């Protein structure tokens, strides 16, 4: 699959998908509190996405059983919603996708449950800011690998680790398209960014080692050292000027 350039019409359709996720983030943010189950959050998300005339991008994707990914504490990505109840002091990363009008939107956020530790608060804030450091280079004429290099530099300067096993991706008619977007420095500059490329840029950041393993469910990736992780993602359009973020 080659990198596809989206037309203004395509980007407008992706904006619709992205704005559904923006509103879903606001809904979930209000619902996340001690005692709620991740399965209930999944139910809220699926009902909302479908109420907007869209479909949850993740449900059934490569056999994934739920509408959102709910990754708690040391779970980095792809945590499966269940009857697990969130507790005071947990952090939860939620990855969400919507499909409408033939196009996908994708974003992720990490939320604190009640009062969280200072270190977890810093982890969440650094992960989010690393995305914004990266997209300083998400403009026509820059090169893809400048994004990941900027993310890694910011994360490591703040004492955290950048996951290597999972990366961002192109997005459009398909959930995952070319190019793969590492959140860390690569050899070479990578492809030149062109107006109309749409990228899902998603730093995954750890409080300790960046090494991960996948649990027996075949989906949930956790940190090897059991320390917490955070995730922040938006769907980003490359323009002639500042990037356009469809999920904010």
Q: Which strands sit side by side in the sheet containing 161-162, from one edge to the other?
A: 161-162, 204-206, 229-231
Considering the domain boundaries, does residue 2 fall inside one? no
- Say if 76 falls within a structural domain: yes
Q: For residues 209 and 223, is the Cβ–Cβ distance under 8 A?
A: yes
Domain that holds residue 146: 8-245
Task: Render pLDDT for 85-132 as a digit per residue (tens, 0 to 9).
Answer: 999 999 999 999 999 999 999 999 999 999 999 999 999 999 999 999
Tell me, yes or no, whether 1 lies in a domain: no
Q: Does a structural domain hold residue 147?
A: yes
Local confidence band at 1 (pLDDT 50, 70, 90 cut-offs): low
Nearest to 197 by CA among 150, 152, 137, 156: 137
Per the structure, the count of domains in the chain is 1
Give the CATH number of the domain where residue 96 resides. Answer: 3.90.230.10
Contact between 58 and 68 under an 8 Å Cβ cutoff? The reply is yes
What is the band of 180 on the pLDDT scale with cuts at 50, 70, 90? very high
In a domain, 3, yes or no: no
Q: Report if residue 47 sits inside a domain.
A: yes
- For the cut 80, the answer to whether the pLDDT of residue 206 exceeds it is yes
């Amino acid at each position: 699959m080659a990198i596809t350039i989206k037309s203004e019409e395509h980007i407008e359709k992706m904006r619709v998908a992205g704005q559904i996720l923006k509103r879903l983030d606001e809904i979930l943010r209000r619902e996340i509190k001690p005692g709620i189950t991740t399965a209930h959050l999944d139910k809220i998300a699926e009902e909302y996405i479908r109420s907007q005339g869209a479909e949850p991008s993740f449900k059934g994707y490569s056999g994934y059983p739920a509408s959102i990914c709910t990754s708690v504490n040391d779970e980095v990505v792809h945590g499966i919603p269940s009857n697990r109840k969130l507790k005071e002091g947990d952090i939860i990363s939620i990855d969400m996708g919507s499909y409408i009008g033939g196009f996908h939107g994708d974003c992720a956020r990490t939320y604190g449950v009640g009062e969280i530790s200072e270190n977890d608060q810093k982890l969440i804030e650094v992960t989010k800011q690393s995305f914004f450091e990266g997209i300083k280079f998400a403009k026509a004429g820059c090169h893809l690998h400048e994004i990941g290099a900027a993310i890694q530099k910011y994360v490591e300067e703040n004492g955290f680790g950048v996951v290597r096993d999972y990366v961002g991706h192109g997005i459009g008619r398909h959930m995952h398209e070319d190019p793969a977007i590492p959140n860390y420095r690569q050899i070479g500059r990578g492809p030149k960014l062109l107006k109309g490329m749409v990228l899902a840029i998603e730093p995954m950041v750890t409080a300790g080692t960046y090494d991960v393993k996948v649990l027996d469910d075949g989906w949930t990736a956790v940190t090897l050292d059991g320390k917490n992780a955070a995730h922040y993602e938006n769907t980003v359009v490359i323009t002639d000027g500042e990037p356009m973020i469809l999920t904010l």
